[in-house]
Amino acid sequence: MRRTLAIPLILALLIGVGPATSEEVLVDGIAAQVGPDIVLVSEVMTLSAGREQMMRSQGASQSDIALVRSDALEAVIESRLIERVVRDAELQATDAEIDATIEAIAQENQLSIREMQRSVASQQMEWAEYRKQIQRELERRKVVNAILGSKVTVDDDEIKALYHEQHAAQPESGSEVHLRQILVPGNEEGGVSIAEACKLTHRARDRIAGGEPFEDVAARYSVIALQNGGDLGWVHLDSIAGWMVEMIEPLEPGQLSAVHQLPVACTFVQLVERKEWNPVTLEEVRASLQQQIYEQKLMEEYRTWMEQLRKRTFIERRGYFAEAAGFQKRAKKSDFEEGLSGHSVLRGAAGAEAQQ
Kindly state whether residue 21 falls inside one of the protein's structural domains.
no
Kindly state whether residue 350 falls inside one of the protein's structural domains.
no
Is the pLDDT at 67 greater than 70? The verdict is yes
Q: Which segments of the chain does DSSP mark as H helices, in order?
A: 41-57, 62-89, 95-108, 113-122, 127-148, 156-167, 194-209, 214-221, 242-248, 282-312, 320-355
pLDDT for 76-125, tens place per residue? Answer: 999 999 999 999 999 999 999 999 999 999 998 888 999 989 988 887 78
Question: Which CATH number characterizes residue 40's domain?
Answer: 1.10.4030.10
Contact (Cβ atoms closer than 8 angstroms) between residue 47 and residue 79: no
Rounded Cα gap, residues 7 and 17, in angstroms: 20
Clarify whether residues 56 and 121 are in a common domain: yes
In angstroms, the Cα distances linking 81 to 70, 73, 290 are: 17, 12, 29
Mutual orientation of helices 62-89 and 282-312 as an angle, nearest 10°? 90
Element (H, E) at 350: helix 320-355
pLDDT for 291-310, tens place per residue? Answer: 999 999 999 999 999 999 99
Provide the residue range defining the domain that includes 303. Answer: 30-153+290-336
Is the pLDDT at 320 greater than 70? The verdict is yes
Q: Out of 18-27, 199-208, 242-251, which region has the weakest mean confidence (pLDDT)?
A: 18-27
Clarify whether residues 71 and 126 are in a common domain: yes
At 264, the amino acid letter reads: V
Clarify whether residues 69 and 148 are in a common domain: yes
Kindly state whether residue 303 falls inside one of the protein's structural domains.
yes
Contact (Cβ atoms closer than 8 angstroms) between residue 19 and residue 42: no
| Confidence at residue 335, expressed as pLDDT on a 0 to 100 scale | 46
Question: 344 or 255, which is more confident?
Answer: 255
Question: 190 or 346, which is more confident?
Answer: 190
Element (H, E) at 272: strand 265-276
Compute the average pLDDT of residues 133-153.
Answer: 92
Find the distance separating the first CA and the last CA of the chain, reported in whole Å: 38
Clarify whether residues 192 and 233 are in a common domain: yes
Q: How many folded domains does the chain comprise?
A: 2
Q: Give residues with Cβ within 8 angstroms of 127, minimum separation 6.
A: 117, 120, 121
Question: 173 or 160, which is more confident?
Answer: 160
Rounded Cα gap, residues 162 and 155, in angstroms: 11
Kindly state whether residue 341 falls inside one of the protein's structural domains.
no
Kindly state whether residue 351 falls inside one of the protein's structural domains.
no
Kindly state whether residue 24 falls inside one of the protein's structural domains.
no
Kindly state whether residue 5 falls inside one of the protein's structural domains.
no
Clarify whether residues 216 and 317 are in a common domain: no
| Confidence at residue 251, expressed as pLDDT on a 0 to 100 scale | 95
